[in-house]
């Protein structure tokens, strides 16, 4: 077993509340930030009591003169160095990466305020010079405290928004009933290894992925897959760690633990999605960088202008206010909070978002290309007919040979052939060296002879003769027809029918309602594809395709600038899933981690595509709202801070600027947390 305890994979102890990115990779422990806030608040109280509040001398400041200025300077220095440390670290990282943004702005603002305040104290006390103003320690202290408080609030919000991973980790129990020589031993799940036998009792959570050895039960997989109904489990059935056992007791063989388990894969998908950068988030970073240079320019110009028309104290105060008000705190938080919240909602509804950029592509979608079998149809094939095309073989012999080649395969067509052989009491022929031929079928040997199972498209491509009249009749009825060949000779065929998923019609109707054109891509025969397409209302159909053909069609649809979503099972559709603007893989169980897809639908329910589109549109709308708020308040307040309304007697002071900035941060956080899948 890999060295991983699933219970602690994402869970944080109550005394270890987490870390926060303080700027381009600089991490700040939340417990330390909380301590810094309280220490800064304690230091701020005497500073406020003994220093002028926006130029007005308070009673305590007068009583403690002349020592009050020096006491405030000492406390202010401690506060500046201790409370400002997170911002200094963040600014250093930003400058090092040549990306000055929020932390650099805060550092510049508090540094200017501190340096001037020290100068004012020295000039007033030691040099006996008439100070331009008393000092900025009151503004400096309140700014640092508000900034630290804002970060603390943000960290709590971010951690709450990203708690889906924690919840997934908690789905597993802490112990398992391991069977050793027929005896039950309770062990920690971290000590389980693949191959171990475990007993699962009634009402317990299943401790790991596995295969049922004996016993029968019903399993509630809702907490894992989102599927609310109970799933019957018997010998050889797969079970998923974290799901809840019903009334029965069964024994299982562990097949997935640690990083190989289903929940570990889910948590990795969620974590990767939350850690990745989306294109809109990069745009937010660019906006923050532009604000830095804009604020610096405005501050310098305002400083020069007010120095000429006023004095140094006034000019410096206005420059500091500009720098404080321009801090893009809310802007930097605008996108990550929304995406974290969206990812958490998606995970809880069986939507695993592997690539966050995909959500931003939804508003541009023109086409939804989709596979037929397993996506629009249930993949539960039943043999409708089977015949021999060779005089030396009976129809039963053809079915037995095909069952022998398909024996052990879990492909829907293989399952149907094996079921038909069992129904007709035929023993599958013993086969060897069976292997898949991508886009063709499979090949294997029986009694030393090589045989292949292929599609009609392969026969046409190889110019091999077969009964096309019979094929057309069966295919037109909606059957998938597989042919058995040997040395380029068709020996017989099996025709199987599939059932359309009940949810598929709603998917097609919803796509059309959103002006997204549904297109069927399938490796099946054209006649069978048209039967399904007609029932669902799909007018564009491409059948008889190889995997590379599907990928080429995706490119063709994209060639004119259209944006394409591909929906498939993630196996033969992998090239097209990777090529599409949005790749949606339909899969369940431990096969959910499909590398080629952007989105994975755990429940294999076509309706989940509709939920994904709705969530994506709501997510991008929230992103836009937060970006407008995060950047918009800067556009309004920076000119006010520079003194544009000074002729009317209004100049924005630093403390008020810090309050406005922090309020905008809270608004952005609240707006992100109001995101829902549905109204």
343 lies in some domain:
no
Host domain of residue 679: 277-328+616-679
List beta partners, residue 385: 495
Q: Show the tokens assigned to 161.
A: 């928004």
Please name the residues in contact with 544: beta carbons below 8 A apart, sequence gap of 6 or more: 455, 456, 457, 460, 522, 523, 524, 525, 526
346 lies in some domain:
no
Q: Rounded CA gap, 143 and 325, in Å? A: 11
Q: Are residues 468 and 480 in the same domain?
A: yes
Q: Are residues 400 and 359 in the same domain?
A: no
At residue 31 the predicted structure's pLDDT band, cuts being 50, 70 and 90, is low
Contact between 191 and 174 (Cβ < 8 Å): no
Lowest mean pLDDT among 474-478, 496-500, 574-578: 574-578
Predicted TM-score (pTM) of the model is 0.58
Q: Are residues 390 and 371 in the same domain?
A: no
Residue closest to 102 by CA, chosen among 631, 673, 626, 629:
631
Q: Rounded CA gap, 231 and 239, in Å? A: 10
610 lies in some domain:
no
Read off the pLDDT of each residue in 256-271 and give the average, rounded to a whole number. 64
Q: Rounded CA gap, 108 and 319, in Å? A: 10
Neighbour-count burial for 537-548, b at 16+ CB within 10 Å, e otherwise? ebeebbbbbbbe
336 lies in some domain:
no
Query: Residue 421's pLDDT is what?
Result: 94
Query: Residue 402's pLDDT is what?
Result: 96
Domain boundary among the residues 221, 247, 269 is at: 269
Q: What total number of domains does the chain contain?
A: 5
Contact between 632 and 664 (Cβ < 8 Å): no
**pLDDT tens for each residue of 329-345:** 566 567 777 877 887 78
Q: Are residues 66 and 128 in the same domain?
A: yes
Taking each continuous run of H as one helix and of E as one strand, the counts in the chain are 23, 24
Q: Are residues 23 and 147 in the same domain?
A: yes
Query: Residue 513's pLDDT is what?
Result: 95
Q: Rounded CA gap, 208 and 201, in Å? A: 14
Q: What is the CATH number of the domain that holds 178?
A: 2.70.150.10
Say what angle helices 279-309 and 102-125 make with each other, to 10 degrees.
20
Residue 371 falls in the annotated catalytic set: yes
Q: Measure the N-to-C terminal CA separation of the chain; round to a whole number of Å.
A: 44
383 SS3 class: strand
Read off the pLDDT of each residue in 649-658 and give the average, rounded to a whole number. 66
Query: Residue 605's pLDDT is what?
Result: 80
Query: Residue 320's pLDDT is what?
Result: 74
Read off the pLDDT of each residue in 626-646 and give the average, rounded to a whole number. 82
Q: Are residues 118 and 248 in the same domain?
A: no
**pLDDT tens for each residue of 289-312:** 777 788 889 989 999 999 998 888
DSSP state, residue 365 = E
Per-residue DSSP letters for 70-131?
HHHHHHHHHHHHHHTHHHHHHHHHHHHTT---HHHHHHHHHHHHHHHHHHHHHHHHTS----
Read off the pLDDT of each residue in 41-61 and give the average, rounded to a whole number. 69
Q: Are residues 124 and 7 in the same domain?
A: yes
Q: What is the CATH number of the domain that holds 468?
A: 3.40.1110.10
192 lies in some domain:
yes
Domain boundary among the residues 445, 476, 497 is at: 497
Query: Residue 495's pLDDT is what?
Result: 94
Rg, the chain, Cα only = 33
pLDDT at 589 over 90: no
At residue 648 the predicted structure's pLDDT band, cuts being 50, 70 and 90, is confident
Lowest mean pLDDT among 93-102, 291-300, 494-503: 93-102
Q: Are residues 76 and 102 in the same domain?
A: yes
CA 604 to chain centre: 18
At residue 209 the predicted structure's pLDDT band, cuts being 50, 70 and 90, is confident
Among candidate residues 69, 196, 285, 371, the one labeled active-site is 371
Q: What is the mean pLDDT of the chain?
A: 78
pLDDT at 650 over 50: yes
DSSP state, residue 259 = G
Query: Residue 267's pLDDT is what?
Result: 62
> Tokens 């009792």 map to which residue?
201
Query: Residue 502's pLDDT is what?
Result: 83
202 lies in some domain:
yes
490 lies in some domain:
yes
407 vs 280, more confident: 407
Domain boundary among the residues 497, 517, 539 is at: 497
Q: Are residues 373 and 520 in the same domain?
A: yes
611 lies in some domain:
no
Q: Are residues 73 and 130 in the same domain?
A: yes
| Burial of 317 per CB tally in 10 Å (0-12, 13-18, 19+) | buried
Q: Are residues 571 and 622 in the same domain?
A: no
- State which of 68-77, 93-102, 109-118 shows the largest mean pLDDT: 68-77
Q: Are residues 33 and 135 in the same domain?
A: yes
> Tokens 């009334």 map to which residue?
247
Q: Vertex 183, ends 182 and 188: CA angle to 5°?
A: 120
């Amino acid at each position: 077993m890999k060295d991983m305890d699933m219970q602690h994979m994402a869970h944080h102890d109550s005394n270890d509340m987490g870390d926060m990115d303080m700027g381009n990779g600089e991490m700040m422990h939340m417990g330390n930030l909380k301590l810094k806030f309280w220490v800064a608040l304690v230091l701020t109280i005497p500073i406020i009591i003994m220093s002028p509040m926006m130029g007005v001398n308070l009673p305590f400041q007068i009583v403690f003169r002349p020592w009050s200025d020096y006491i405030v300077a000492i406390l202010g220095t401690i506060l500046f160095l201790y409370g400002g440390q997170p911002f200094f670290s963040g600014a250093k990282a930003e400058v090092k990466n040549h990306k000055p943004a929020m932390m650099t702005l805060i550092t510049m603002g508090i540094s200017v305020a501190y340096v001037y305040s020290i100068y004012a104290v020295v000039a007033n006390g030691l040099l006996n010079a008439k100070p331009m103003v008393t000092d900025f320690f009151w503004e400096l202290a309140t700014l640092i405290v508000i900034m630290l408080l804002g970060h603390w609030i943000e960290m709590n919000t971010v951690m709450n928004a990203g708690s889906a991973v924690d919840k997934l980790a908690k789905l597993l129990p802490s112990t398992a009933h391991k069977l050793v020589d027929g005896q039950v031993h309770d062990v920690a799940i971290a000590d389980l290894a693949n191959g171990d036998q475990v007993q699962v009792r009634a009402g317990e959570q299943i401790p790991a992925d596995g295969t049922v050895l004996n016993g029968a039960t019903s399993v509630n997989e809702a907490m894992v897959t989102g599927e609310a109904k109970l799933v019957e489990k018997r010998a050889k059935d797969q079970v998923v760690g974290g799901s809840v056992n019903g009334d029965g007791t069964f024994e299982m063989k562990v097949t997935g633990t640690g990083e190989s388990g289903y929940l570990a894969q889910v948590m990795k998908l969620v974590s990767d999605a939350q850690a990745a950068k989306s294109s809109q988030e990069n745009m937010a970073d660019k906006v923050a960088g532009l604000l830095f240079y804009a604020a610096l320019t405005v501050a310098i110009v305002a400083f020069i202008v007010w120095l000429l028309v006023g004095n140094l104290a006034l000019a410096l105060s206005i420059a500091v206010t500009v720098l404080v008000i321009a801090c893009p705190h809310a802007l930097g938080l605008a996108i990550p909070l929304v995406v974290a919240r969206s990812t958490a909602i998606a995970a809880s509804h069986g939507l695993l978002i592997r690539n966050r950029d995909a959500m931003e592509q939804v508003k541009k979608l023109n086409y939804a290309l989709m596979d037929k079998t397993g996506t629009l149809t249930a993949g539960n094939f039943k043999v409708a007919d089977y015949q021999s095309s060779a005089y030396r073989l009976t129809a039963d012999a053809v079915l037995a040979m095909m069952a022998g080649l398909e024996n052990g395969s879990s492909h829907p067509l293989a399952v149907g052939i094996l079921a038909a052989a069992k129904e007709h009491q035929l023993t599958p022929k013993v086969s060897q060296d069976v292997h898949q031929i991508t886009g063709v079928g499979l090949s294997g040997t029986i009694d030393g002879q090589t045989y292949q199972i292929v599609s009609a498209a392969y026969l046409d491509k190889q110019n091999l003769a077969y009964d096309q009249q019979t094929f057309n009749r069966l295919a037109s009825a909606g059957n998938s027809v597989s042919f058995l060949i040997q040395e380029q000779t068709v020996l017989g065929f099996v025709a199987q029918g599939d059932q359309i998923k009940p949810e598929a019609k709603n998917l097609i109707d919803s796509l059309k309602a959103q002006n997204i054109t549904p297109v069927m891509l399938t490796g099946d025969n054209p006649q069978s594809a048209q039967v399904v397409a007609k029932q669902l209302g799909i007018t564009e159909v491409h059948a008889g395709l190889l995997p590379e053909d599907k990928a080429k069609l995706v490119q063709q649809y994209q060639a004119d600038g259209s944006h394409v979503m591909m929906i498939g099972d993630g196996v033969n559709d992998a090239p097209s899933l990777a090529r599409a603007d949005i790749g949606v893989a339909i899969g369940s169980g431990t096969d959910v981690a499909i590398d080629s897809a952007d989105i994975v639908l755990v429940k294999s329910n076509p309706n989940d595509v509709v939920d994904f589109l709705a969530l994506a549109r709501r997510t991008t709308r929230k992103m836009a709202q937060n970006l407008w708020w995060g950047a918009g308040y800067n556009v309004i307040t920076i000119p006010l801070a520079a003194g544009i309304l000074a002729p009317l007697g209004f100049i924005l002071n630093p403390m008020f600027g810090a309050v406005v900035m922090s309020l905008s941060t809270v608004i952005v956080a609240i707006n992100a947390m109001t995101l829902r899948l549905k109204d």
